[in-house]
Amino acid sequence: MRAMIFEKAGKPMELKEIPMPEPSEHQVLLKVHACGVCRTDLHIVDAELDQPKVPLVLGHQIVGTVEKKGSSVDEYSDGDRVGVPWLGGSCQQCSYCKSGKENLCDKAVYTGYQINGGFAEYCVADARYCFPIPTDYPDLQAAPLLCAGLIGYRSLRFCGDAKKIGFYGFGAAANILIQVAKHKGQQIYAFTKKGDVKTQEYAKKMGAVWAGDSETLPPEPLEAAIIFAPIGPLIPIALQSLAKGGSIVCAGIHMSDIPSFPYSILWGERLIRSVANLTRKDGEEFLDIAPKVPIKTEATKYPLEKLNEALDDLREGRITGSAVIVP
């Protein structure tokens, strides 16, 4: 099969012919129809996440159909369409796994990081960590739901009952999440890079009640903020935008260092927390909600051999919505 292979940070991935994988006991073999490109892929390519298995097939927003299944797989049948997220497996024995917090398992493994992912014609995945794809969604529109959507949904859950929420960074996850927030009657304030009028206008078009530069205070205090951009200095800026009792949720797997800040802007029972991966419950809930909103995703399609170009476009902010590889 054809696959794009990552071997070393800073080196472009190469299209190669590699053996097709065989599913083990709990795995399914999938014919890949689409795989979303995520900022986490960039973090791996740019050596900001520095423990990948190499050589590696990246990609963890996979939509495919079951071609073959392992001996213990009862969840799916041949021909079923499923989605594969970032969380690829966990020990299922520790206290985290037993309490529904498998996202915190110390032995968790991740798709496109320790396990070969979906920037290929075929892949294998643990059936216990896959999700059925809602029939309403074609492959291209379904792929971004599997990370941008799922991590965004978990982040929004951690905002509790907040009605006024700031989004710092307005990319693929924010594009999906603002639709969920509007469905729930929440108001979104969008923060972008200084002078990025195009993205600010896009955020307003998507339903943001206000959009401006990330260094600007919103017109009124926020009850919560989600930091999508991997930029540590946004934390003290966002804290100054929060009302007392408000929460900041850091949605990324990687962030640059957070500078020191005065205790006075944290005081008042403000809270900073991170989101680590996702749970299977998050996936089940979100993919049940998505067609009810209904969430519409905007995707730019690239062929498999153009993966390096897609990553460059994501890095430089040339993509509105999501980039999706279609083998």
What predicted TM-score, i.e. pTM, was given to this entire model? 0.93
Which domains, ranges and CATH numbers included, belong to the chain?
2-146+297-326 (3.90.180.10), 150-274 (3.40.50.720)
Question: Can the peptide bond before residue 144 be classed as cis, meaning omega within 30 degrees of 0?
Answer: no
Summarize the confidence of residues 247-260 as an average pLDDT.
96
By residue count, the chain amounts to 327
194 C-beta neighbours (distance < 10 Å), count:
9
Mean pLDDT of the chain: 96
Going by DSSP bridges, is the β-strand pair 131-132/122-126 parallel, antiparallel, or unpaired?
unpaired
Q: What angle do CA 47, 229, 326 make, to 5 degrees?
A: 65
> Cα–Cα distance between 42 and 55 in angstroms, integer?
16
Express each pLDDT in 43-59 by its tens digit: 999 999 989 999 999 99
Express each pLDDT in 202-246 by its tens digit: 999 999 999 999 999 999 999 999 999 999 999 999 999 999 999
Q: What is the pLDDT of residue 108?
A: 97
> Cα–Cα distance between 70 and 28 in angstroms, integer?
6
Going by DSSP bridges, is the β-strand pair 210-213/271-274 parallel, antiparallel, or unpaired?
unpaired
Express each pLDDT in 161-171 by its tens digit: 999 999 999 99
Q: Tokens 């006075």: give the residue.
A: 264
Q: What is the pLDDT of residue 75?
A: 94
Q: Which amino acid is at 90?
A: S
